[in-house]
Amino acid sequence: MQNHNDIWARALESLASSMSQVSFDVWIKTLVPLGFVNKKLILVTPSISSQVLINKSYIDAVRSAVTSASASFSANLSDGDADADDVEIITETQKEEYLSKLNAEGGKGAVDGAIIAAAVDKKEDEYAQFVPKYTFDNFIVAESNRLVAAAASAVAKNPGSQYNPLFIYGGVGLGKTHIMHAIGNYIREHNPALKIICVPTEKFTNELIDSIRNSRDSRDNREFREKYRSADVLMMDDIQFLSGKAGTQMEVFHTFNDLYQSGKQIIMTSDKPPKEIAQLEERLRSRFLSGLIADIQPPDLETRVAILKRKALQEKYDIDPVVINFIAEKVTGNIREMEGLLSRVVFYSTLVGKCANNLALANEALKDYADVKNESITAYDVIDACCNCCNITKNEILGKKKTKDIVEPRQIAIYLITEMLPLPLISIGQLFGGRDHTTIIHARDKISQKIKTDPKIKAKVIDIQTYISDVKRPVS
Ligand code: ADP
Ligand code: MG
């Protein structure tokens, strides 16, 4: 198998020349190749929104660039070497799961040595790895997470004495892992003698399966048991993954009882409350319910702004409050996604060599994101917005008049429709009173050029785009 980094580097070259600079820089260049699973090149993107967008708009281009790049290397390979014949876009949160798949294929040379080495290196202390930034100090407390924050702080100060087990639940990207790691970081600093084991539930399951498979007697997975039952604090992340896994549930049940009876602290996170986890043994559900159940709700706008400000400070981003507000308004239910947009704006601003302090730039950096959110936008929404912002009528914009005050808004409308909607040029031409597709191309290219040279046009286009997303934003 070829080297994934080389293939991706070559694929990037061809992708760079086949798409707009902004889309390439913001969505494609930020992908990180992880390795191959079954001849599929795995590419990592930071958030679910970018995964959705890439899968929707760019996946065919990426796939064909990768397969061609791979084929171009194949000429120099021997018969046994395989090509990459597909791609898969995964998010940061899926990385762990894919790393284990890569390692499973490692013997066949599917993944390069560095990744295997990193995985082996991690083994030593891998159960007490807390993200250093996930501290209580960096966790903004508000109405939406007050109970969790208070309970977590009490547990960190006195593990095993109160709130045992602590069951934290809430939607994706709302800070469950952050607060659990904050407990870990705190205990490590203040009570280093305690043995903390922090494990994603999926990993616990995989490990249990491996340990059963590798032991001589299928019931003898003593090593595994002893490890988990020796913890003073056991943290299991995303416990909803126990759903339907009877064997793992049994193991968790016994581990739980053992630890609980010896006064050890158990902390779990889940994306739903215990009663909503399907196919979960009743005896285990009742154990989960026996301590404190604390939920995290989506944060309000003010809290989202505070979180972004803290993040900006933490990362030393030079970013204007107006831009922070703009981002906080865009995402309501997922802090990770919101942070992703912040990095994207900062990344984009360094790319164009400007400070992240104006809305136009933020708007431009997040242009594609707006597209995903506003799937219900139609060509008529764009036309209406242009008419409204430029003070002309629908008949005028769609008609034959060629005066500048009409032609310019018409060209902007055409440009925006081609940019925002997957409509064939011929259909756009029909929409504008039966114009030829070459006229549509001319209008599109003209505005695309002018945006680069004429700040007034650029401002107008951004105004119209903002108008469209304001009108289309769902009422929350
Ligand atoms: P979950 O585990 O619930 O999916 P995470 O704990 O991974 O979510 O949080 C996602 C991101 O949001 C992390 O970068 C985290 O630091 C950030 N975050 C979540 N809640 C807060 C908060 N209250 N204050 C600061 N950052 C937060
Ligand atoms: Mg999490």
Q: Residue 14 sits in a domain of what CATH number?
A: 3.30.300.180
Nearest ligand 1 atom, CA 180: 6
Mean predicted lDDT score pLDDT of the chain: 85
Amino acid letter at 3?
Answer: N
* Higher-pLDDT residue of 158, 105: 158
- 292-301, 370-379, 466-475, range with the lowest pLDDT: 370-379
What are the pLDDT digits (tens) for 183-202? 999 999 999 999 999 999 99
**pLDDT number for residue 351:** 73
Residue 312 and residue 283 share a domain: no
Check if 140 has its Cβ closer than 6 Å to any atom of ligand 1: yes
Q: Is residue 132 in a domain? A: no
Confidence of residue 262 (pLDDT cuts 50, 70, 90): very high
Overall domain count for the chain: 3
Q: Is residue 133 in a domain? A: no
Q: Is residue 341 in a domain? A: yes
Domain boundary among 116, 135, 155: 116
Q: What angle do CA 397, 402, 403 make, to 5 degrees?
A: 95
Confidence of residue 218 (pLDDT cuts 50, 70, 90): low
Residue 308 and residue 171 share a domain: no
Q: Is residue 388 in a domain? A: yes
Q: Whose CA is nearest to atom 13 of ligand 1?
A: 336
Q: Is residue 137 in a domain? A: no
- Which bound ligand lies closest to the C-alpha atom of 133? 1
Domain around 346:
301-472
Confidence of residue 46 (pLDDT cuts 50, 70, 90): confident
Q: Is residue 139 in a domain? A: no
Q: Match 């604090």 to its residue by tokens.
A: 233
User: How many whole angstroms separate alpha carbon 385 and alpha carbon 468?
Assistant: 6
Q: Is residue 136 in a domain? A: no
- 118-122, 176-180, 234-238, 461-465, range with the lowest pLDDT: 118-122
Domain boundary among 279, 296, 313: 296
- Which bound ligand lies closest to the C-alpha atom of 172? 1
Q: Chain-centre distance of CA 436, in angstroms?
A: 41
Q: Is residue 310 in a domain? A: yes
166 contacts 266 by C-beta, under 8 angstroms: yes
- Going by C-alpha positions, the residue among 173, 7, 191 that lies closest to residue 84 is 7
336 contacts 172 by C-beta, under 8 angstroms: yes
Confidence of residue 113 (pLDDT cuts 50, 70, 90): very low
Residue 305 and residue 290 share a domain: no
What are the pLDDT digits (tens) for 313-324? 988 888 888 899
Check if 175 has its Cβ closer than 6 Å to any atom of ligand 1: yes
Beta bridge partners of 294: 168
185 contacts 135 by C-beta, under 8 angstroms: yes
Check if 46 has its Cβ closer than 6 Å to any atom of ligand 1: no
> How far, in Å, is the centroid of ligand 1 from the Cα of 307?
9
What are the pLDDT digits (tens) for 50-68? 788 888 888 999 999 999 9
Residue 452 and residue 340 share a domain: yes
Confidence of residue 96 (pLDDT cuts 50, 70, 90): confident
- Going by C-alpha positions, the residue among 410, 408, 412 that lies closest to residue 394 is 410
> How far, in Å, is the centroid of ligand 1 from the Cα of 95?
17
What are the pLDDT digits (tens) for 289-333? 999 999 999 999 999 999 999 999 988 888 888 899 989 988 888
430 contacts 464 by C-beta, under 8 angstroms: no
What are the pLDDT digits (tens) for 383-405? 999 999 999 999 999 999 999 99
* Higher-pLDDT residue of 375, 74: 74
Q: Match 């609980």 to its residue by tokens.
A: 260
- Which bound ligand lies closest to the C-alpha atom of 336? 1
Who's near 225: CB < 8 A, 6+ residues apart? 251, 254, 255
176 contacts 272 by C-beta, under 8 angstroms: no
User: How many whole angstroms separate alpha carbon 435 and alpha carbon 440?
Assistant: 7
What are the pLDDT digits (tens) for 69-78? 888 877 665 5
| Helices 222-229 and 201-214: angle between axes, nearest 10 degrees | 150
- 212-221, 278-287, 315-324, range with the lowest pLDDT: 212-221
Report in angstroms the alpha-carbon separations of 283 from 168, 251, 256, 290: 19, 12, 11, 11
From its phi and psi, is residue 163 left (phi > 0), alpha (psi between -120 and 50) or beta?
left
Confidence of residue 372 (pLDDT cuts 50, 70, 90): low
Q: Please give the DSSP secondary-structure letter assigned to residue 238.
A: -
Which of 169, 178, 300, 314 gets mutated to test ligand 1 (max ligand atoms within 8 A of its CB)? Answer: 178
What is the model's pTM?
0.62
Check if 335 has its Cβ closer than 6 Å to any atom of ligand 1: yes
